[in-house]
Chain A
Amino acid sequence: MMKIEILGTGCAKCQKLEEIVRKASEELGLNAEIVKVKDVKEITNYGVMITPALAINGEVKLAGKVPSLDEVKKLLK
Protein backbone atom coordinates (compact mmCIF):
# COMPACT_ATOMS: atom_id res chain seq x y z
CA MET A 1 0.00 0.00 0.00
CA MET A 2 1.23 3.48 -0.83
CA LYS A 3 1.97 5.67 2.18
CA ILE A 4 1.33 9.37 1.74
CA GLU A 5 2.44 11.76 4.46
CA ILE A 6 1.36 15.37 4.81
CA LEU A 7 4.03 17.19 6.79
CA GLY A 8 2.91 20.36 8.50
CA THR A 9 1.87 21.74 11.80
CA GLY A 10 -1.74 22.25 10.80
CA CYS A 11 -1.71 25.64 9.13
CA ALA A 12 -4.24 26.58 6.45
CA LYS A 13 -1.97 25.59 3.57
CA CYS A 14 -1.19 22.25 5.22
CA GLN A 15 -4.92 21.58 5.37
CA LYS A 16 -5.29 22.60 1.74
CA LEU A 17 -2.54 20.18 0.75
CA GLU A 18 -4.26 17.38 2.62
CA GLU A 19 -7.53 18.18 0.84
CA ILE A 20 -5.84 18.05 -2.58
CA VAL A 21 -4.00 14.83 -1.76
CA ARG A 22 -7.20 13.12 -0.64
CA LYS A 23 -8.99 14.23 -3.77
CA ALA A 24 -6.13 13.08 -6.03
CA SER A 25 -5.94 9.74 -4.28
CA GLU A 26 -9.68 9.25 -4.65
CA GLU A 27 -9.74 10.24 -8.32
CA LEU A 28 -6.84 7.88 -9.09
CA GLY A 29 -8.50 5.10 -7.11
CA LEU A 30 -5.40 4.53 -5.03
CA ASN A 31 -5.17 2.15 -2.14
CA ALA A 32 -3.19 4.60 -0.03
CA GLU A 33 -2.68 5.33 3.61
CA ILE A 34 -2.75 9.09 4.19
CA VAL A 35 -1.03 10.22 7.36
CA LYS A 36 -0.62 13.69 8.84
CA VAL A 37 2.69 14.45 10.55
CA LYS A 38 2.30 17.49 12.77
CA ASP A 39 5.19 17.19 15.20
CA VAL A 40 7.94 19.64 14.22
CA LYS A 41 10.73 17.39 15.47
CA GLU A 42 9.37 14.52 13.44
CA ILE A 43 9.07 16.77 10.39
CA THR A 44 12.71 17.86 10.68
CA ASN A 45 13.74 14.20 10.77
CA TYR A 46 12.74 14.12 7.11
CA GLY A 47 15.06 17.05 6.43
CA VAL A 48 12.05 19.24 5.77
CA MET A 49 12.74 22.87 6.65
CA ILE A 50 9.62 24.49 5.22
CA THR A 51 6.04 23.32 5.28
CA PRO A 52 3.69 22.11 4.01
CA ALA A 53 5.52 19.13 2.56
CA LEU A 54 4.46 15.91 0.92
CA ALA A 55 6.20 12.56 1.29
CA ILE A 56 5.33 9.45 -0.69
CA ASN A 57 6.60 6.13 0.63
CA GLY A 58 9.10 7.98 2.80
CA GLU A 59 10.51 10.25 0.10
CA VAL A 60 9.80 13.96 0.27
CA LYS A 61 8.49 15.10 -3.09
CA LEU A 62 7.85 18.77 -2.42
CA ALA A 63 8.01 21.34 0.34
CA GLY A 64 7.00 24.92 0.95
CA LYS A 65 4.10 25.14 -1.46
CA VAL A 66 0.62 23.90 -2.20
CA PRO A 67 0.69 22.04 -5.52
CA SER A 68 -2.21 21.80 -7.95
CA LEU A 69 -4.39 18.72 -8.16
CA ASP A 70 -2.69 17.72 -11.41
CA GLU A 71 0.77 18.08 -9.88
CA VAL A 72 -0.20 15.81 -7.01
CA LYS A 73 -1.71 13.27 -9.38
CA LYS A 74 1.56 13.15 -11.34
CA LEU A 75 3.47 12.55 -8.12
CA LEU A 76 1.12 9.80 -7.06
CA LYS A 77 1.13 7.90 -10.36
Chain B
Amino acid sequence: MAQDCCGFGTVLLYSCSGASDVGELADRAVRTLWKEGFATKTCLAGVGANISGFLASAKGADVNIVVDGCPIACARKSLQRVGIEPIAIVLQNLGYKKGDTKVTEETIARVVEEIKAIVKSKIPSSTIISPGCCC
Protein backbone atom coordinates (compact mmCIF):
# COMPACT_ATOMS: atom_id res chain seq x y z
CA MET B 1 0.00 0.00 0.00
CA ALA B 2 1.23 3.47 -0.80
CA GLN B 3 2.65 5.45 2.08
CA ASP B 4 0.60 8.44 3.08
CA CYS B 5 3.82 10.09 4.06
CA CYS B 6 4.89 13.02 1.96
CA GLY B 7 8.44 12.12 1.14
CA PHE B 8 10.11 12.51 4.54
CA GLY B 9 11.56 9.44 6.18
CA THR B 10 10.20 7.14 3.55
CA VAL B 11 11.80 3.72 3.72
CA LEU B 12 11.06 1.07 1.12
CA LEU B 13 11.85 -2.59 1.58
CA TYR B 14 12.48 -5.27 -1.04
CA SER B 15 13.21 -8.97 -0.81
CA CYS B 16 14.65 -11.24 -3.47
CA SER B 17 11.83 -13.75 -2.73
CA GLY B 18 13.92 -16.32 -4.55
CA ALA B 19 13.09 -20.00 -4.95
CA SER B 20 15.58 -21.25 -2.35
CA ASP B 21 15.06 -21.60 1.37
CA VAL B 22 16.95 -18.38 2.04
CA GLY B 23 14.90 -16.65 -0.65
CA GLU B 24 11.74 -17.70 1.17
CA LEU B 25 13.27 -16.58 4.46
CA ALA B 26 14.06 -13.16 2.99
CA ASP B 27 10.51 -12.82 1.70
CA ARG B 28 8.85 -13.83 4.97
CA ALA B 29 11.12 -11.67 7.10
CA VAL B 30 10.44 -8.65 4.91
CA ARG B 31 6.69 -9.27 5.05
CA THR B 32 6.92 -9.43 8.84
CA LEU B 33 8.84 -6.14 8.97
CA TRP B 34 6.18 -4.56 6.77
CA LYS B 35 3.35 -5.80 8.97
CA GLU B 36 5.18 -4.46 12.02
CA GLY B 37 5.38 -1.03 10.37
CA PHE B 38 9.17 -0.99 10.19
CA ALA B 39 9.11 0.00 6.50
CA THR B 40 6.94 -0.42 3.45
CA LYS B 41 7.46 -3.51 1.34
CA THR B 42 7.39 -2.93 -2.36
CA CYS B 43 7.75 -5.06 -5.48
CA LEU B 44 11.17 -5.95 -6.79
CA ALA B 45 9.54 -7.39 -9.90
CA GLY B 46 8.02 -3.98 -10.60
CA VAL B 47 11.49 -2.46 -10.62
CA GLY B 48 12.78 -5.24 -12.86
CA ALA B 49 9.90 -4.70 -15.25
CA ASN B 50 10.63 -0.96 -15.45
CA ILE B 51 7.17 -0.03 -14.19
CA SER B 52 7.34 3.74 -13.86
CA GLY B 53 5.55 3.93 -10.51
CA PHE B 54 7.92 1.48 -8.83
CA LEU B 55 10.96 3.19 -10.32
CA ALA B 56 9.79 6.67 -9.31
CA SER B 57 8.97 5.42 -5.80
CA ALA B 58 12.41 3.85 -5.41
CA LYS B 59 14.09 7.02 -6.63
CA GLY B 60 11.93 9.21 -4.40
CA ALA B 61 12.38 7.18 -1.21
CA ASP B 62 14.83 8.39 1.40
CA VAL B 63 16.12 4.87 1.95
CA ASN B 64 15.76 1.63 0.01
CA ILE B 65 16.57 -1.62 1.80
CA VAL B 66 17.07 -4.91 -0.01
CA VAL B 67 17.20 -8.33 1.59
CA ASP B 68 18.75 -11.07 -0.51
CA GLY B 69 18.92 -14.69 0.48
CA CYS B 70 22.21 -15.52 -1.18
CA PRO B 71 25.26 -13.65 -2.49
CA ILE B 72 23.99 -13.63 -6.08
CA ALA B 73 22.18 -10.56 -4.72
CA CYS B 74 19.45 -10.25 -7.36
CA ALA B 75 17.55 -7.66 -5.34
CA ARG B 76 20.56 -5.41 -4.80
CA LYS B 77 21.62 -5.68 -8.44
CA SER B 78 18.08 -4.95 -9.66
CA LEU B 79 18.15 -1.61 -7.84
CA GLN B 80 21.71 -0.81 -8.81
CA ARG B 81 20.79 -1.41 -12.46
CA VAL B 82 18.43 1.56 -12.27
CA GLY B 83 20.93 3.77 -10.45
CA ILE B 84 19.85 3.21 -6.86
CA GLU B 85 22.29 2.20 -4.14
CA PRO B 86 20.31 0.47 -1.40
CA ILE B 87 21.19 -0.72 2.07
CA ALA B 88 21.89 -4.34 1.17
CA ILE B 89 21.60 -7.38 3.42
CA VAL B 90 22.46 -10.95 2.41
CA LEU B 91 21.07 -13.63 4.70
CA GLN B 92 23.79 -16.12 3.83
CA ASN B 93 26.32 -13.63 5.18
CA LEU B 94 24.42 -13.75 8.47
CA GLY B 95 24.90 -17.51 8.66
CA TYR B 96 21.79 -18.75 6.86
CA LYS B 97 23.23 -21.20 4.36
CA LYS B 98 21.45 -21.67 1.07
CA GLY B 99 19.99 -25.18 0.85
CA ASP B 100 20.51 -25.84 4.51
CA THR B 101 18.19 -23.41 6.26
CA LYS B 102 14.87 -24.35 7.81
CA VAL B 103 12.27 -21.61 7.41
CA THR B 104 10.47 -21.63 10.74
CA GLU B 105 8.69 -18.95 12.72
CA GLU B 106 11.67 -18.82 15.06
CA THR B 107 14.12 -18.34 12.21
CA ILE B 108 11.96 -15.62 10.69
CA ALA B 109 11.73 -13.81 14.03
CA ARG B 110 15.51 -13.99 14.47
CA VAL B 111 16.17 -12.67 10.97
CA VAL B 112 13.70 -9.83 11.50
CA GLU B 113 15.63 -8.67 14.56
CA GLU B 114 18.96 -8.99 12.73
CA ILE B 115 17.67 -6.91 9.82
CA LYS B 116 16.37 -4.22 12.20
CA ALA B 117 19.75 -4.00 13.92
CA ILE B 118 21.67 -3.75 10.64
CA VAL B 119 19.37 -1.11 9.19
CA LYS B 120 19.45 0.98 12.35
CA SER B 121 23.25 0.92 12.29
CA LYS B 122 23.34 2.13 8.67
CA ILE B 123 20.43 4.49 8.29
CA PRO B 124 21.05 8.24 8.64
CA SER B 125 20.07 9.38 12.10
CA SER B 126 17.94 12.14 10.58
CA THR B 127 15.74 9.57 8.87
CA ILE B 128 12.74 8.47 10.84
CA ILE B 129 12.01 4.82 10.23
CA SER B 130 8.30 5.07 9.94
CA PRO B 131 5.78 4.48 7.20
CA GLY B 132 3.34 6.86 8.81
CA CYS B 133 2.22 10.22 7.48
CA CYS B 134 4.35 13.19 8.36
CA CYS B 135 2.05 15.90 7.09
Contact = CB atoms under 8 A, between A and B. Distances in A.
B40 A49 contact: yes
Interface residues of B, number: 26
Contacts of A55: 52-53
Interface in B48-84: 51-57, 59-62
Contacts of A12: 6, 135
B1 A52 contact: no
Interface in A34-77: 40, 43-44, 46-53, 55, 59-66
B17 interface: no
Contact of A50 (B46, B52, B61): B61
A6 interface: no
B57 A48 contact: yes
Main secondary structure, interface of A, reads mixed
Interface of B: 1-7, 10, 12, 40, 42-43, 46, 51-57, 59-62, 133, 135
Interface of A: 7-9, 11-14, 40, 43-44, 46-53, 55, 59-66
